[in-house]
Copies of this chain bind each other. A is one copy, B any other.
Amino acid sequence: MQTSEYPVHNFYAGPGKLPTSVLARIGKELHNYRSTGMSVVEISHRAKPIVDLIERTQQKFKELLGLAAGDEVLFLQGGGSMQFIMLAMNLSEKGDSVDYVDTGYWSKKAIGAALELERDVHIAGVSETGIPKHLSIRENAKYLHLCSNNTVMGTQWFQFPETDVPLVADMSSDILSRSIQANDFGLIYAHAQKTIGTSGVTAVIIPEKAREQLLPVTPSFLSYASHIEAASNYHTPPVFSIYVVECMLDWLRDEIGGVENMEKINQEKAEKLYAFIDQSSLFDCPVVKEDRSMMNVVFNLSDEGLTDKLLNRADANGMIGIKGHRSKGGLRVSLYNPVTVEDVEALIQFLTDFENAS
């Protein structure tokens, strides 16, 4: 494991890097949150500072996503895994037709939950090395589910399907990393730990138009309506994780200058790294060019025997978290919002040196 003697470049697939200024703010506010004389983690969730924190964070989230006043942003526990269950339960009943696009690892997990809940699951399209361009969507489907960015496969949707069926998207690994038309979706969910915070909280975005489609769900804890009614304070919320989201949204708005600027920076980082890989004779990216993820760059060494050597050297040089997903091997570099152009340039230099020495 890396020690602090070396400069660290953190490319973990999540939880991952936070901006230096966000960590500095957390440290500064840790002992006295907004002049309360207490830490943010010591205050009751029913007390005004925390009620206000949740409301502000929801509001900032809506502004950055371009949502309207009537749209809802919930902050829930349980990660994407919990949403795989809740979305199926709140938008469909047992036996209902529900359509899913299978783009690998995480989308398969969402599909698995719908099957366990005895929904009539139809796979509208499949691809593990890209994004399927032609989908067969059933007219009577309660929703079409997709995963907007596939962390394991290194693929990303750049054009979302046009359909009359409500579109449900797992945006856990690219929310607020680029501009989207949030209003085109029936439901969006995203855990915070990749692009907008750390683990422990998941944002669920429910546009006003989708409210009436929500079914009554028992147990009521699993009902979106319960959490909407309670303004994300149905039970004790994960306060620290929500606080980190607020810090991240402030950083995104005030230091980066908004989502469009963030997208430009993310494009620059990804283009630099893919350009390096494509010109290299040692490294190779298996993903079709038009579907390559801006967030997770998945690539291999043409000489697989060198992978372990590279990973060991990466650790010793402060290049952290570039090992491929355990189901795939190879390399994966995650370029979430907090990763800087300088981090990417340092990595490219490291990979160049490694290639030249091989």
Contact = CB atoms under 8 A, between A and B. Distances in A.
A2 B49 CA distance: 11
B198 A81 contact: no
A240 interface: yes
A47 B237 contact: no
B42 A199 contact: no
Which size bracket describes the interface of A in this complex?
A: 35 or more
B240 A199 contact: yes
A4 B31 CA distance: 10
Contact of A77 (B12, B35, B238): B238
Contacts of A80: 235
Contacts of A30: 23, 26-27, 30
B200 A240 contact: yes
B44 A13 contact: yes
A42 B234 CA distance: 28
A195 B219 CA distance: 28
A10 B31 contact: no
A342 interface: no
B6 A37 contact: yes
Contacts of A7: 37
B238 A238 contact: yes
Contact of A236 (B49, B191, B218, B236): B191
Given A77-B200, A200-B239, A238-B199, A15 B37 contact: no
Interface string A223-255: 000000000001111111100100000000000
The 9 closest A-B pairs by CB, nearest first: A200-B238, A8-B37, A41-B198, A77-B77, A4-B37, A12-B44, A116-B218, A81-B235, A116-B219
